[in-house]
Structure 1
Amino acid sequence: MSIHKGVALVTGASRGIGRAIALRLANDGYTIALNDVPSNLPSLTILKNEIESIKYGGQNLRALSVPADMREEEQVKAMVEKTVRDLGTLDVMVANAGLYKSAAPMVDTKSEDFDDTLAVNIRGVFLCYKYAAKQMIAQHTQRGGGAGGTIIGAASVAAKQGLAGLSAYSTSKWAVRGLTQASALELAPYGIRVNAYAPGFTVTKLVEDFAVTSKLDPRKFFADLSQDVPLKRMGAPDDIANLVSFLVSDQASYITGQSVSINGGTFFD
């Protein structure tokens, strides 16, 4: 009999925060479904092999690659269906996949960049919430009640404090907060908790790209940002993974509808 905790699906898992979350939940005992865009399948395969080398309770873990584009509803629906078909259930959805297009004043932001950012960062999160919730509601009914599952979204410090030059990104992340709160209210009767993590600047390729497009040296950019953080360091992907590990655990069973700040003290709610 399996002693694994359940099945977690992590989007945008090929690198950065998504990769750290997938590895942490695997080490916590979850079977992991790994998502990213199809072009990142080689990186997902590497991560899948790494997860399957992990033992939990003396048993090898299992992982599944489920490539999909978060902007495409039928692909997101199929991703959830394949996860359940191959792994048997869906207990945790982490809608981590995100997009950052460019740093530009609002008046210079291209409409297509604005649309692309919202398509991934909020439409994609909405679709993940929607199809994960449908599955979890069905499971809740089949099981005759009890805890129905956990859904986690990717917000940001930009979801709580608008940032100059990031109008599209800030807009998308504020929307994640609203979606998370409304979904938490709607899904509570089914024992489904919905929360989001709201990190400050974290050492990832996404933030490095922000520095590059802003014509800044990434190393100096990271060093300068660290000086503005009370804890005097940038966030690491593992910091966010640790928070997600807590939010999906029974220890967080009374927490729902929250976008939890994790930023070293740079912003207080």
Structure 2
Amino acid sequence: MRKVAMVTGGAQGIGRGISEKLAADGFDIAVADLPQQEEQAAETIKLVEAAGQKAVFVGLDVTDKANFDSAIDEAAEKLGGFDVLVNNAGIAQIKPLLEVTEEDLKQIYSVNVFSVFFGIQAASRKFDELGVKGKIINAASIAAIQGFPILSAYSTTKFAVRGLTQAAAQELAPKGHTVNAYAPGIVGTGMWEQIDAELSKINGKPIGENFKEYSSSIALGRPSVPEDVAGLVSFLASENSNYVTGQVMLVDGGMLYN
């Protein structure tokens, strides 16, 4: 029986890695991202199809509740079902605490927190409509376990995702749905290139030095790649995790110990 997963922010980075891994696991994939990311999403779709699975692009602004509802309807209609939502989309903001503006907070909460709420609501509705026991997998972070300086707004959004994951898991358990989250550490993607560049402006260290210093604390001796994160998401999307819910699982190579 074919299964369907939708991955938000699936056009690149961790989202692309998750899409490719879930395709290898036998999922058809709805690659959901901003309409202007459709060209980049085409690369993700090629990887999914190379794994022998179907893929479609779904234009989605995760901050728009109605858009989220319609995107999940579109994914289910085009792929013939709906079993897993990966709320992967997110942004970072790198600013000293006292410089964070009201607009900064509105933006990052809309993308990192509101979208997870909207996704949980829309996915649960679709699961119930289709009569399936679904899985919702949210993007947290090591910053959901420990707050980090210069990442105050980001850290608060990821703590919010952690709390929402726990609450939603309890509310949706009677329906048979599970809700979990993955918490990456230092991942070599565009987000960390942005973090490194912004930290460089603040502390004057050369480009690449902040990334190197943060990575030096990793027990396994290297920063992660999207495939590392995708492996955990693969478990959370599989039947092997059927008795796991409400958990935020670190995938950081040994940085924090929860």
Structure 2 counterpart of 1:190, which letter? Answer: K
> SS of the residue aligned with 2:59?
coil
Residue in 2 aligned with 1:225?
A: 214
Residue in 2 aligned with 1:211?
A: 196
Deviation at 1:54, TM superposition (A): 2.2
CA deviations over 1:32-89 (Å, ceiling 9, x no partner): 000111111101122213322322xxxxx11010011111111111100101111121
2:97 to 91, 106, 119: 106
| 2:43 pairs with 1:51 | no
Provide TM-score, normalisation by structure 1: 0.91
Find the aligned partners of 1:75 and 1:7 in 2 and give their Cα distance: 19
Structure 1 counterpart of 2:40, which letter? Answer: S
Provide TM-score, normalisation by structure 2: 0.95
Contact 1:122–1:172 at 8 Å: present in 2 too?
A: yes
Deviation at 1:239, TM superposition (A): 0.7
Find the aligned partners of 1:64 and 1:219 in 2 and give their Cα distance: 36
Residue in 2 aligned with 1:190?
A: 175
Instruction: Give 4+ residue runs of structure 1 displaced > 6 Å after superposition.
Output: none
| 2:165 pairs with 1:180 | yes
Deviation at 1:130, TM superposition (A): 0.7
Find the aligned partners of 1:161 and 1:238 in 2 and give their Cα distance: 23
Contact 1:211–1:217 at 8 Å: present in 2 too?
A: no
Find the aligned partners of 1:200 and 1:49 in 2 and give their Cα distance: 27
Contact 2:143–2:154 at 8 Å: present in 1 too?
A: yes
Find the aligned partners of 2:211 and 2:223 in 1 and give their Cα distance: 7
2:108 to 107, 117, 123: 117
Find the aligned partners of 1:217 and 1:40 in 2 and give their Cα distance: 30
Residue in 2 aligned with 1:143?
A: none
Contact 2:8–2:32 at 8 Å: present in 1 too?
A: yes
Where do 5+ consecutive residues of structure 2 fail to align? none
Contact 1:240–1:262 at 8 Å: present in 2 too?
A: yes
Contact 1:17–1:241 at 8 Å: present in 2 too?
A: yes
> SS of the residue aligned with 2:91?
coil
Question: How many residues in Structure 1 have an aligned counterpart in Structure 2?
Answer: 254
CA deviations over 1:225-257 (Å, ceiling 9, x no partner): 221111111111111100000111111111000
Structure 1 counterpart of 2:226, which letter? Answer: P
| 2:5 pairs with 1:8 | yes
Contact 1:201–1:234 at 8 Å: present in 2 too?
A: yes
Where do 5+ consecutive residues of structure 1 fail to align? 56-60, 141-146
Cα distance change, pair 195–108 in 1 and its aligned pair in 2 (3 A):
same
Residue in 2 aligned with 1:58?
A: none
Contact 2:224–2:252 at 8 Å: present in 1 too?
A: yes
Find the aligned partners of 2:20 and 2:215 in 1 and give their Cα distance: 26
Residue in 2 aligned with 1:262?
A: 251
Residue in 1 aligned with 2:87?
A: 95
> SS of the residue aligned with 1:69?
coil
Residue in 1 aligned with 2:67?
A: 75
Cα distance change, pair 218–27 in 1 and its aligned pair in 2 (3 A):
farther
